[in-house]
């Protein structure tokens, strides 16, 4: 079945460092891909999404490009802030499973001042 794999955390960075969180997927068909963020004590919020190959999603300085050839959707940010500390989830919509979202296991990011 369809699945999403993320790099394991926790990831600890200093403020202004470059961030990459890897995400790869397995899917039949052409899923849409998403990054959600969960701040401490809160629910998930959509960070960005891409609906077709080579699309780039971007929001709040974060970017991710839908790479069909490598089945990847890595999240990047050029300069992280303490306020970016959160858990990040990669997800895909699975039309083979009725259009439901399939989530990766999440990657915890901690940014130190």
Partner 1 sequence: NAGVTQTPKFQVLKTGQSMTLQCAQDMNHNSMYWYRQDPGMGLRLIYYSASEGTTDKGEVPNGYNVSRLNKREFSLRLESAAPSQTSVYFCASSEFGAGRSTQYFGPGTRLLVL
Judged by CB under 8 A, the residue of 4, 19, 21, 64 near partner 1 is 4
Q: CB of 106 within 8 A of CB of 6?
A: yes
Q: Tell me if 42 contacts partner 1 by CB under 8 A.
A: yes
Judged by CB under 8 A, the residue of 21, 27, 31, 86 near partner 1 is 31
Kindly list the distances between the CA atom of residue 45 and the CA atoms of 30, 49, 71, in Å, as whole numbers in the listed order: 23, 12, 23
What is the C-alpha to C-alpha distance for residues 104 and 101, in angstroms, rounded to an integer?
Answer: 10
Q: Write down the least CB distance from residue 7 to partner 1, Å.
A: 13
Q: CB of 36 within 8 A of CB of 21?
A: no
What is the C-alpha to C-alpha distance for residues 6 and 107, in angstroms, rounded to an integer?
Answer: 7
Q: Which stretch binds partner 1 (CB under 8 A): 13-21, 44-52, 58-66, 72-80?
A: 44-52
Judged by CB under 8 A, the residue of 16, 18, 105, 112 near partner 1 is 105
Residues that bind partner 1 (CB under 8 A): 4, 31-32, 41-46, 49, 89, 93-95, 98-101, 103-106
């Amino acid at each position: 079945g369809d699945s999403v794999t993320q790099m394991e955390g926790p990831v600890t960075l200093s403020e202004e460092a470059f961030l990459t969180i890897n995400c790869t997927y397995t899917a039949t068909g052409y899923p849409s891909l998403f990054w959600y963020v969960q701040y401490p004590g809160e629910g998930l919020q959509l960070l960005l999404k891409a609906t077709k190959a080579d699309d780039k999603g971007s929001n709040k300085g974060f970017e991710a490009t839908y790479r069909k050839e490598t089945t990847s959707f890595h999240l990047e940010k050029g300069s992280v802030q303490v306020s970016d500390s959160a858990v990040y989830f990669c997800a895909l919509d699975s039309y083979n499973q009725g259009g439901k979202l399939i989530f990766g296991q999440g990657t915890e990011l901690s940014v130190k001042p």
